[in-house]
Amino acid sequence: MHHPATGADREPDRQPDARDLWQAVLRTAVDPIIIIDQDGVMAHVNEATEQLFGYEADELIGRNVSSLMPEPHRSAHDGYLQSYLVTGEARIIGIGREVEALRADGSTVPVALAVSEIKLDGRSWFTGILHDLTKRHLVEAELREAKHGLEERVRERTAQLETSMVELSRSNRDLEQFAYIASHDLQAPLRNVRQGLELLDDHLGETLGQHFDDEANELRDLTVAAVVRMEEMIDGLLSYSRLERGGEPTQNLVDLRLLAEEVIDQMRPELIRVGAIVEVEKLPTVSGDEIQLRQLLQNLLENACKYRDPERSLRLSLDATEGDEGMWQISVGDNGIGIEAEQRNRVFDLFRRAHPGYEGVGLGLAICQRIVERHGGDIWIESGPNGGSVFNFTVPGPTRVPSGTET
């Protein structure tokens, strides 16, 4: 605003003497500036020097600059200078470094020191420009502290997470233990209920003779059926929790083809009864727990028989493909009634039954899933080519057997 907007050249302000100007700049510079002679004696200091060190200028001028340094530099400084003047090897001059400065009150302050050499009339002078690093150090300390705090927090959180995981796995174990104890200890009272019912039934039969009416018979049968169902559930829960109690599954080489043939042999009467045709493709040798894998195959085949389509004869196929990372995928396919897409994940839940009107308590597939998971594999259902289902599961191949057990 003070200048015309025309952009026309302005008459420059009257220039002061360059020497006065430089002196003023040096005097008022924000950073302390100290000029010493080649003996280390201070010749000039500026106002910032007075402020930083807490001396008046005339207290400094004529004194050796080493009085502004803490030990060990204080005693060594004369030697540094001599060594430079003799060898020309600079340790600070023209380089600059971070040093401690000693104040009048005895405290020290970190400074960045830059030293340059001036040669005048054959004599050397040195100019030291200092920059107070106190603030920078504070900020750096804060940063360090923040970083440290952050690391500390990460450590704490990690420790918390590890604790939670330990607790989680313990509570899982507790839950498995609970399932076992509950199902085991519930057997006895349930057995008593059944016994009491049968005794009551026998007693009423004896005392009332043929006078037991249809309603009484029906009520008794419904109650007995409920007891039987609960017995089945408890039995299932027991075998489910026994999978956990057995510890890690054993890792033996299991010939799945042989195992499948044994299971099929064992199920022969049922397979003949439902008129099933079973095709077993080449199945691999895998590593795992033979008893559990047998139960897995048996549960899947029994399910296929149970949920067959009454309109056509049951066709079963067992097949395998080699997967990633040494795993094998085994597929058990059928042409049964199939499972709706939204049910396919839920059927693996405990006590979940996809089809009403069939016997069973809904544990077979839960046990299958547990067995597969304990072998480090997955189990899932796809829809079959003829409306049936394909149960796929993965198990580790023989290469995954730990050394020593492999033949």
Partner 1 sequence: MSVLDRTRRRPGAIDGPVNVLLVEDNPLDARSTLRAARKLELADRVDVVSDGQAALDRLRQARADGVPVGLLLLDLNLPGKDGHDVLRELRADPDLQTTPVVILTSSVEQADVNGAYQQGANAYVNKPTGLDGWLEAMATIREFWLSLAILPRR
Provide the binding-site residues for partner 1, judged by CB under 8 A.
188, 191-192, 194-196, 198-199, 201-202
Shortest Å distance, C-beta 192 to partner 1: 5
Cα first-last separation, the chain: 96
Task: Count how many Cα atoms sit within 13 Å of the Cα of residue 242 in the half-sphere of its side chain.
Answer: 11
Shortest Å distance, C-beta 224 to partner 1: 10
Shortest Å distance, C-beta 174 to partner 1: 23
Q: 332 vs 13, 286, 298, CA distance in Å?
A: 98, 16, 11
Nearer to partner 1, 104 or 190 (CB): 190
Asked if residue 269 has a cis previous peptide bond (ω within 30° of 0), the answer is no
Token pair belonging to 349: 């839940």
Nearer to partner 1, 127 or 223 (CB): 223
Shortest Å distance, C-beta 228 to partner 1: 11
Nearer to partner 1, 182 or 337 (CB): 182
Output DSSP code: residue 43.
E
Nearer to partner 1, 198 or 281 (CB): 198
Distance CA 367, CA 363 (A): 6
Sheet holding 389-396, edge to edge: 277-280, 315-322, 327-334, 389-396, 379-383
Nearer to partner 1, 131 or 184 (CB): 184
Nearer to partner 1, 79 or 205 (CB): 205
Token pair belonging to 111: 């400074």
- Amino acid, res. 369: Q
Q: Give the closest residue to 385 by CA, choosing from 344, 327, 338, 323.
A: 338
Whether the Cβ atoms of residue 368 and residue 215 lie closer than 8 Å to each other:
no
Nearer to partner 1, 27 or 184 (CB): 184
Whether the Cβ atoms of residue 43 and residue 124 lie closer than 8 Å to each other:
no
Asked if residue 72 has a cis previous peptide bond (ω within 30° of 0), the answer is yes
Contacts of residue 325, Cβ cutoff 8 Å, sequence gap at least 6: none
* SS3 at position 250: coil
Nearer to partner 1, 26 or 224 (CB): 224
Longest dimension (CA), the chain: 142
Task: Return the HEC string of 337-386.
Answer: CCCCHHHCCHHHCCCCCCCCCCCCCCCHHHHHHHHHHHCCCCEEEEECCC
Nearer to partner 1, 201 or 373 (CB): 201
